[in-house]
Copies of this chain bind each other. A is one copy, B any other.
Amino acid sequence: MNKNLGDIGERALLKMFEKLVDSGDLPFNDDAVAYSISENQSMVVNIDTFVRETDAPPKMTPAQMGSKAVTMTISDLAAKGVQPQVIVASGVFPGDFSVENTLELVTGIRETAHSYNTKFLGGDTNTAGDVILSIVALGLCQKKNLILRSGALIDDIICTTGYFGLTGAGFKVFLDNYSATEKQKNKFSSAIYEPKACLEEGLLFSQFGKINSCIDSSDGLAWSLYELLRNKNDLGIILENIPIDPTVNDFAKDHNLQAEDLALHAGEEFELLFTLKEDNFHKLQKLMESKGKVIHRIGRITNENPGLIQYMKEGKLIDVSPKGWEHFQ
């Protein structure tokens, strides 16, 4: 039986790739790859590809496309606590894409790289039917400072760098034509059209040194939390509170939607999710606040519900489904 990628989806495919990939300084399926360049140092590398058809919401400008492509890639280095030193880009453009739009897009790449203190060194151009941008980010890291996606321990608390649901609500407004107030539209629009990676937060985590695990939430809050549990058959997660943005709560009420669902399953958000020992939380919170950043606690790692994420609603434990963005399907 000869199956197509559309039949099995991206995650099943990635599982097959595991055997084909050489080992480096980070496990397969972490946010980035890394390899030793000296006894103490790793080079951390990430490539992420932006495909206009699937990654650009309607009316996204060329500058915003370039910017989002850079943010997608750098967010993964943020989750490792690594400062990207340079990016290089491959831009694939249709022959009928205008010169003006191309220069605007590449300027978006350049300026966004600079906003993350990263140099843009150039790359390659090609032509095909859609706009496709592959951005590569490289950063050096002390090996002992690399934060793993897979380091969560029992009784760790789970924290985030922000609130969720803005993209989920925004997709309803900008793709499905739900009505929204001006204020709501502005917040949703920023989240969808001008996302930012939490790089400063990731670098502070690395400096703090006691983060057990970290992941960026670009595949969705629920999916990313399940990733923290991958290959840990005895661990589960209790969500003590689902970090819903207040604007999303209001919007959900107006339209009789489940705010939890908008926060858990939308994806395309670039917050960091991370775990640490409860004892270290207040010290980290103080460090973050001294730099004008917030973090908040949303749950804990437990052995009470192995393999599951659950939250309490009206006295009942609700299972969170491992639903997230998946290519090919």
Contact = CB atoms under 8 A, between A and B. Distances in A.
A175 interface: no
Contacts of A20: 103, 106-107, 110, 120
A89 interface: yes
A97 B35 contact: no
Contacts of A47: 88-90, 123-124, 134, 136
A23 to B, nearest CB: 8
Contacts of A138: 43, 45, 138
B99 A8 contact: yes
Contacts of A110: 20-22
Contacts of A43: 43, 138
Contacts of A35: 85-86, 119, 121
Contacts of A6: 95-96
Please report whether the interface of chain A is mostly helix, strand, loop or mixed according to DSSP.
mixed
A98 B136 contact: no
A37 B43 CA distance: 10
Interface of A: 2-8, 10, 13-14, 16-17, 20-22, 24, 28, 33, 35, 37, 43, 45-49, 51, 53-54, 85-86, 88-90, 92-100, 102-103, 106-107, 110, 119-130, 132, 134, 136, 138, 140, 327-329
A118 to B, nearest CB: 9
A90 B127 contact: no
B132 A5 contact: no
A93 B132 contact: no
Contacts of A86: 22, 24, 33, 35, 45
